[in-house]
Chain A
Amino acid sequence: MTGRKPGPVPSGLERYYILTDGRSAPTVEATGLDVATLIVARSAPEPGSRPEHEAILRNCRDPLSVAELGAYLELPFNVLSVLVADLLNAGGVEARDPIAGTRDGAPDLALLEEVLSGLQRL
Protein backbone atom coordinates (compact mmCIF):
# COMPACT_ATOMS: atom_id res chain seq x y z
CA MET A 1 0.00 0.00 0.00
CA THR A 2 1.55 3.26 -0.98
CA GLY A 3 0.68 6.72 0.11
CA ARG A 4 -0.72 5.66 3.44
CA LYS A 5 -0.04 8.22 6.07
CA PRO A 6 1.46 6.66 9.15
CA GLY A 7 -0.59 7.20 12.28
CA PRO A 8 -0.55 5.57 15.69
CA VAL A 9 -4.28 4.89 16.15
CA PRO A 10 -6.63 4.84 13.20
CA SER A 11 -9.57 7.07 13.73
CA GLY A 12 -12.52 8.39 11.78
CA LEU A 13 -12.71 7.30 8.17
CA GLU A 14 -9.49 5.37 8.39
CA ARG A 15 -10.81 3.26 11.23
CA TYR A 16 -13.98 2.50 9.29
CA TYR A 17 -11.88 1.61 6.25
CA ILE A 18 -10.04 -0.97 8.30
CA LEU A 19 -13.20 -2.36 9.90
CA THR A 20 -14.74 -3.02 6.51
CA ASP A 21 -11.58 -3.96 4.60
CA GLY A 22 -12.08 -0.88 2.51
CA ARG A 23 -15.63 -1.69 1.51
CA SER A 24 -18.35 0.84 1.99
CA ALA A 25 -22.06 0.79 1.36
CA PRO A 26 -23.07 4.42 1.18
CA THR A 27 -26.61 3.66 0.15
CA VAL A 28 -29.32 1.58 1.70
CA GLU A 29 -29.90 -0.04 -1.69
CA ALA A 30 -26.37 -1.43 -1.73
CA THR A 31 -27.13 -3.94 1.02
CA GLY A 32 -30.93 -3.78 1.12
CA LEU A 33 -30.76 -3.07 4.83
CA ASP A 34 -32.97 -0.42 6.37
CA VAL A 35 -32.43 1.38 9.67
CA ALA A 36 -35.60 -0.39 10.87
CA THR A 37 -34.54 -3.85 9.62
CA LEU A 38 -34.50 -6.31 12.51
CA ILE A 39 -31.39 -8.47 12.81
CA VAL A 40 -31.58 -11.82 14.63
CA ALA A 41 -28.57 -14.04 15.35
CA ARG A 42 -28.87 -17.60 14.11
CA SER A 43 -25.70 -18.91 15.68
CA ALA A 44 -23.07 -18.13 18.24
CA PRO A 45 -19.93 -16.35 17.06
CA GLU A 46 -17.29 -18.65 15.57
CA PRO A 47 -14.10 -18.81 17.61
CA GLY A 48 -11.67 -16.29 16.16
CA SER A 49 -14.33 -14.23 14.44
CA ARG A 50 -13.66 -10.51 14.33
CA PRO A 51 -14.80 -8.54 17.36
CA GLU A 52 -17.30 -6.42 15.43
CA HIS A 53 -19.06 -9.50 14.04
CA GLU A 54 -19.05 -11.04 17.48
CA ALA A 55 -20.54 -7.87 18.96
CA ILE A 56 -23.36 -7.90 16.40
CA LEU A 57 -24.17 -11.55 17.12
CA ARG A 58 -24.05 -10.97 20.86
CA ASN A 59 -26.48 -8.06 20.61
CA CYS A 60 -28.91 -9.80 18.29
CA ARG A 61 -29.79 -12.85 20.34
CA ASP A 62 -33.17 -11.13 20.47
CA PRO A 63 -34.26 -9.17 17.39
CA LEU A 64 -32.70 -5.72 17.24
CA SER A 65 -32.95 -3.02 14.61
CA VAL A 66 -29.96 -1.90 12.58
CA ALA A 67 -30.49 1.57 14.06
CA GLU A 68 -30.22 0.26 17.63
CA LEU A 69 -27.17 -1.80 16.74
CA GLY A 70 -25.55 1.30 15.27
CA ALA A 71 -26.30 3.29 18.41
CA TYR A 72 -25.03 0.59 20.79
CA LEU A 73 -21.92 -0.27 18.78
CA GLU A 74 -21.26 3.36 17.85
CA LEU A 75 -20.85 2.52 14.19
CA PRO A 76 -22.29 4.58 11.34
CA PHE A 77 -24.97 2.96 9.27
CA ASN A 78 -22.91 2.42 6.12
CA VAL A 79 -20.11 0.67 8.02
CA LEU A 80 -22.53 -1.44 10.04
CA SER A 81 -24.34 -2.44 6.85
CA VAL A 82 -21.16 -3.98 5.47
CA LEU A 83 -20.53 -5.92 8.67
CA VAL A 84 -24.13 -7.16 8.88
CA ALA A 85 -24.02 -8.13 5.19
CA ASP A 86 -20.97 -10.31 5.93
CA LEU A 87 -22.95 -12.14 8.61
CA LEU A 88 -25.99 -12.44 6.36
CA ASN A 89 -23.89 -14.00 3.61
CA ALA A 90 -22.37 -16.42 6.09
CA GLY A 91 -25.80 -17.36 7.45
CA GLY A 92 -24.97 -16.06 10.91
CA VAL A 93 -27.92 -13.71 11.09
CA GLU A 94 -31.39 -13.33 9.71
CA ALA A 95 -32.66 -9.92 8.54
CA ARG A 96 -36.33 -8.92 8.64
CA ASP A 97 -37.13 -5.80 6.68
CA PRO A 98 -39.75 -3.41 8.03
CA ILE A 99 -43.25 -4.16 6.78
CA ALA A 100 -44.34 -1.52 4.29
CA GLY A 101 -47.83 -0.07 4.32
CA THR A 102 -48.60 -1.67 0.98
CA ARG A 103 -48.60 -5.25 -0.19
CA ASP A 104 -48.62 -6.16 -3.90
CA GLY A 105 -49.32 -2.51 -4.63
CA ALA A 106 -52.43 -2.42 -2.45
CA PRO A 107 -52.58 -0.88 1.02
CA ASP A 108 -52.12 -3.38 3.78
CA LEU A 109 -55.25 -2.55 5.77
CA ALA A 110 -54.79 -5.40 8.23
CA LEU A 111 -51.35 -4.07 9.14
CA LEU A 112 -52.61 -0.48 9.47
CA GLU A 113 -55.41 -1.72 11.74
CA GLU A 114 -52.88 -3.59 13.87
CA VAL A 115 -50.73 -0.46 14.19
CA LEU A 116 -53.78 1.61 15.07
CA SER A 117 -54.94 -0.70 17.84
CA GLY A 118 -51.41 -0.81 19.24
CA LEU A 119 -51.25 2.99 19.38
CA GLN A 120 -54.70 3.23 20.94
CA ARG A 121 -53.55 1.00 23.78
CA LEU A 122 -50.67 3.33 24.67
Chain B
Amino acid sequence: MDFNGFDRPAFPQRAGALHAGSRSVKVMVAGGFGTGKTTMVGSVSDIVPLTTEETLTQATVGVDDLVGVADKKSTTVSLDFGRISLNEQLVLYLFGTPGQERFWFLWNGLFKGALGAVVLVDTRRLQSSFRAIEEMERLNVPFVIALNMFPDARSYPAEEVREALAIDPHTPILTCDARDRASSRDVLIALIRHIKERSAAALEPR
Protein backbone atom coordinates (compact mmCIF):
# COMPACT_ATOMS: atom_id res chain seq x y z
CA MET B 1 0.00 0.00 0.00
CA ASP B 2 1.38 3.37 -0.99
CA PHE B 3 0.96 5.93 1.71
CA ASN B 4 3.29 8.52 0.21
CA GLY B 5 2.11 12.01 0.89
CA PHE B 6 -0.05 10.49 3.55
CA ASP B 7 1.83 11.59 6.57
CA ARG B 8 0.23 14.86 7.47
CA PRO B 9 -0.56 14.67 11.13
CA ALA B 10 -4.14 13.77 11.85
CA PHE B 11 -5.57 15.24 15.02
CA PRO B 12 -3.39 16.23 17.93
CA GLN B 13 -5.53 14.66 20.65
CA ARG B 14 -6.22 11.49 18.75
CA ALA B 15 -6.79 8.38 20.83
CA GLY B 16 -4.50 5.39 20.43
CA ALA B 17 -4.72 3.77 17.01
CA LEU B 18 -6.64 0.53 16.64
CA HIS B 19 -4.92 -2.61 15.39
CA ALA B 20 -5.15 -3.05 11.62
CA GLY B 21 -7.37 -6.11 11.88
CA SER B 22 -9.78 -4.65 14.46
CA ARG B 23 -13.50 -5.35 14.53
CA SER B 24 -16.13 -3.57 16.58
CA VAL B 25 -19.19 -4.28 18.70
CA LYS B 26 -21.62 -1.70 20.04
CA VAL B 27 -23.59 -1.26 23.21
CA MET B 28 -26.13 1.50 23.82
CA VAL B 29 -26.65 3.45 27.03
CA ALA B 30 -30.24 4.67 27.21
CA GLY B 31 -32.40 6.32 29.86
CA GLY B 32 -34.18 9.57 30.49
CA PHE B 33 -32.67 13.02 30.42
CA GLY B 34 -30.13 13.55 33.21
CA THR B 35 -29.91 9.93 34.32
CA GLY B 36 -26.13 9.80 33.84
CA LYS B 37 -25.71 8.35 30.36
CA THR B 38 -22.85 10.62 29.36
CA THR B 39 -21.24 10.12 32.78
CA MET B 40 -21.30 6.34 32.39
CA VAL B 41 -19.91 6.48 28.84
CA GLY B 42 -17.10 8.72 30.06
CA SER B 43 -16.21 6.77 33.17
CA VAL B 44 -15.66 3.46 31.41
CA SER B 45 -14.22 4.72 28.11
CA ASP B 46 -10.55 4.36 27.16
CA ILE B 47 -10.74 7.58 25.20
CA VAL B 48 -11.98 11.03 26.10
CA PRO B 49 -15.66 10.79 25.21
CA LEU B 50 -16.58 12.28 21.86
CA THR B 51 -19.79 13.52 20.31
CA THR B 52 -21.10 12.74 16.88
CA GLU B 53 -24.13 14.36 15.38
CA GLU B 54 -26.91 13.66 12.99
CA THR B 55 -28.70 16.53 11.31
CA LEU B 56 -32.31 15.65 10.90
CA THR B 57 -34.34 17.58 8.38
CA GLN B 58 -38.02 17.36 7.76
CA ALA B 59 -37.24 15.84 4.40
CA THR B 60 -36.59 12.15 4.83
CA VAL B 61 -35.39 11.52 1.28
CA GLY B 62 -32.73 13.30 -0.77
CA VAL B 63 -32.82 17.05 -0.85
CA ASP B 64 -33.38 17.72 -4.53
CA ASP B 65 -33.13 21.42 -4.77
CA LEU B 66 -31.63 24.27 -2.88
CA VAL B 67 -34.87 26.23 -3.12
CA GLY B 68 -36.10 26.81 0.35
CA VAL B 69 -33.19 25.03 2.02
CA ALA B 70 -32.66 28.00 4.26
CA ASP B 71 -36.21 27.63 5.51
CA LYS B 72 -36.04 23.91 6.16
CA LYS B 73 -36.24 23.07 9.79
CA SER B 74 -33.36 21.01 11.02
CA THR B 75 -32.68 19.40 14.33
CA THR B 76 -29.35 18.19 15.56
CA VAL B 77 -29.32 15.01 17.57
CA SER B 78 -26.11 14.28 19.43
CA LEU B 79 -24.66 10.97 20.45
CA ASP B 80 -21.95 10.90 23.10
CA PHE B 81 -19.75 7.90 22.77
CA GLY B 82 -16.70 6.20 24.15
CA ARG B 83 -14.54 3.24 23.27
CA ILE B 84 -13.14 0.27 25.16
CA SER B 85 -10.43 -1.95 23.70
CA LEU B 86 -11.49 -5.45 24.75
CA ASN B 87 -8.44 -7.10 23.23
CA GLU B 88 -6.01 -6.41 20.38
CA GLN B 89 -8.63 -7.11 17.74
CA LEU B 90 -11.94 -6.22 19.32
CA VAL B 91 -13.19 -2.80 20.32
CA LEU B 92 -16.46 -1.93 22.04
CA TYR B 93 -18.20 1.35 21.21
CA LEU B 94 -20.52 2.65 23.86
CA PHE B 95 -23.16 5.15 22.68
CA GLY B 96 -25.20 7.34 24.96
CA THR B 97 -28.56 7.82 23.27
CA PRO B 98 -30.13 11.24 22.88
CA GLY B 99 -32.22 12.16 25.89
CA GLN B 100 -35.29 12.84 23.79
CA GLU B 101 -36.53 9.39 22.89
CA ARG B 102 -38.78 10.85 20.20
CA PHE B 103 -35.68 11.32 18.06
CA TRP B 104 -34.62 7.70 18.19
CA PHE B 105 -36.95 6.57 15.47
CA LEU B 106 -35.63 9.35 13.22
CA TRP B 107 -32.14 7.97 13.54
CA ASN B 108 -32.99 4.72 11.86
CA GLY B 109 -30.93 1.74 12.77
CA LEU B 110 -29.41 3.35 15.84
CA PHE B 111 -29.99 0.17 17.85
CA LYS B 112 -29.53 -2.20 14.94
CA GLY B 113 -26.53 -4.46 15.40
CA ALA B 114 -26.10 -3.48 19.06
CA LEU B 115 -25.32 -6.34 21.43
CA GLY B 116 -27.69 -4.77 23.93
CA ALA B 117 -28.39 -1.73 26.06
CA VAL B 118 -28.04 -0.38 29.57
CA VAL B 119 -31.08 1.63 30.67
CA LEU B 120 -30.08 4.09 33.39
CA VAL B 121 -32.70 5.04 35.93
CA ASP B 122 -32.66 7.92 38.42
CA THR B 123 -34.72 6.62 41.34
CA ARG B 124 -35.77 10.17 42.21
CA ARG B 125 -37.47 10.43 38.82
CA LEU B 126 -38.41 6.88 37.89
CA GLN B 127 -40.79 7.90 35.13
CA SER B 128 -38.03 9.70 33.19
CA SER B 129 -36.70 6.34 31.95
CA PHE B 130 -40.08 4.81 31.20
CA ARG B 131 -40.03 5.66 27.49
CA ALA B 132 -36.52 4.22 27.13
CA ILE B 133 -37.63 0.92 28.64
CA GLU B 134 -40.66 0.79 26.35
CA GLU B 135 -38.44 1.44 23.34
CA MET B 136 -36.03 -1.36 24.27
CA GLU B 137 -38.94 -3.78 24.53
CA ARG B 138 -40.42 -2.59 21.25
CA LEU B 139 -37.07 -2.93 19.45
CA ASN B 140 -36.42 -6.29 21.14
CA VAL B 141 -33.00 -5.12 22.34
CA PRO B 142 -31.68 -7.09 25.34
CA PHE B 143 -31.14 -4.73 28.26
CA VAL B 144 -30.40 -4.41 31.96
CA ILE B 145 -31.68 -1.69 34.27
CA ALA B 146 -29.01 0.21 36.18
CA LEU B 147 -30.21 2.37 39.06
CA ASN B 148 -27.73 5.23 39.17
CA MET B 149 -27.16 6.01 42.83
CA PHE B 150 -27.14 9.77 42.97
CA PRO B 151 -25.72 11.01 46.28
CA ASP B 152 -29.04 12.32 47.60
CA ALA B 153 -31.16 9.46 46.29
CA ARG B 154 -32.61 7.14 48.87
CA SER B 155 -31.85 3.50 48.22
CA TYR B 156 -34.71 1.89 46.45
CA PRO B 157 -35.46 -1.83 46.57
CA ALA B 158 -35.06 -3.23 43.06
CA GLU B 159 -38.40 -5.01 43.24
CA GLU B 160 -40.19 -1.74 43.96
CA VAL B 161 -38.63 -0.26 40.83
CA ARG B 162 -39.57 -3.37 38.86
CA GLU B 163 -43.16 -2.99 39.88
CA ALA B 164 -43.28 0.76 39.36
CA LEU B 165 -41.85 0.54 35.86
CA ALA B 166 -43.52 -2.78 34.92
CA ILE B 167 -40.20 -4.43 34.13
CA ASP B 168 -40.15 -8.03 32.94
CA PRO B 169 -39.14 -10.45 35.76
CA HIS B 170 -36.21 -11.73 33.66
CA THR B 171 -34.64 -8.32 33.16
CA PRO B 172 -31.85 -7.75 35.71
CA ILE B 173 -31.99 -4.64 37.87
CA LEU B 174 -28.77 -3.53 39.53
CA THR B 175 -27.46 -0.45 41.23
CA CYS B 176 -24.42 1.48 40.08
CA ASP B 177 -22.47 4.68 40.41
CA ALA B 178 -22.14 5.91 36.82
CA ARG B 179 -19.16 8.08 37.83
CA ASP B 180 -17.17 5.03 38.85
CA ARG B 181 -15.27 3.08 36.22
CA ALA B 182 -15.44 -0.28 38.02
CA SER B 183 -19.13 0.15 38.76
CA SER B 184 -19.93 1.03 35.13
CA ARG B 185 -17.82 -1.91 33.95
CA ASP B 186 -19.80 -4.22 36.26
CA VAL B 187 -23.03 -3.01 34.65
CA LEU B 188 -21.64 -3.91 31.22
CA ILE B 189 -20.56 -7.33 32.52
CA ALA B 190 -24.08 -7.89 33.89
CA LEU B 191 -25.50 -6.93 30.49
CA ILE B 192 -23.32 -9.39 28.57
CA ARG B 193 -24.10 -12.17 31.07
CA HIS B 194 -27.80 -11.40 30.67
CA ILE B 195 -27.52 -11.59 26.87
CA LYS B 196 -25.78 -14.97 27.19
CA GLU B 197 -28.43 -16.32 29.55
CA ARG B 198 -31.23 -14.93 27.42
CA SER B 199 -29.65 -16.65 24.42
CA ALA B 200 -29.28 -19.93 26.24
CA ALA B 201 -32.93 -19.81 27.32
CA ALA B 202 -34.02 -19.10 23.75
CA LEU B 203 -32.06 -22.12 22.51
CA GLU B 204 -33.54 -24.56 24.99
CA PRO B 205 -35.99 -27.02 23.45
CA ARG B 206 -39.58 -26.34 24.47
Residues of A within 8 A of B (CB): 1-5, 12-14, 16-17, 22-24, 26-29, 34-38, 40, 42-45, 57-59, 61-68, 70-72, 76-79, 96-101, 106-107, 109, 111-120, 122
Contact = CB atoms under 8 A, between A and B. Distances in A.
Given A14-B70, A36-B25, A38-B23, A119 B185 contact: yes
A63 B22 contact: yes
B26 interface: yes
Given A98-B25, A118-B92, A63 B18 contact: yes
Given A28-B109, A115-B115, A117-B87, 10 more contacts: A26-B61, A37-B24, A45-B6, A59-B10, A67-B95, A77-B54, A96-B22, A101-B142, A112-B199, A119-B188
Give the residue among A2, A79, A98 with the most B Cβ atoms within 10 A: A98
Contacts of B91: 38
Contacts of A59: 10-11
Contacts of B139: none
Interface string B7-32: 01011001101111011111000000
28 contacts: A3-B68, A14-B69, A22-B66, A26-B108, A37-B24, A38-B18, A38-B22, A38-B91, A43-B1, A59-B11, A61-B3, A63-B18, A65-B93, A67-B81, A67-B95, A70-B53, A72-B10, A72-B50, A77-B52, A77-B53, A78-B54, A98-B114, A99-B24, A107-B196, A107-B198, A112-B195, A113-B196, A118-B85
Interface of B is mostly: mixed
A104 B52 CA distance: 31
Contacts of B151: none
Contacts of A111: 25
A114 B188 CA distance: 13
Contact of B112 (A34, A63, A113): A34
B120 interface: no
Given A63-B20, A70-B52, A98-B25, A44 B108 contact: no
Interface in B57-89: 57, 59-70, 72, 74, 76, 79, 81, 83-87
Contact of B60 (A26, A35, A42, A57): A26
Contact of B108 (A3, A27, A71): A27
B100 interface: no
B192 A112 contact: yes
Contacts of A12: 74
B205 interface: no
Nearest to A4: B66
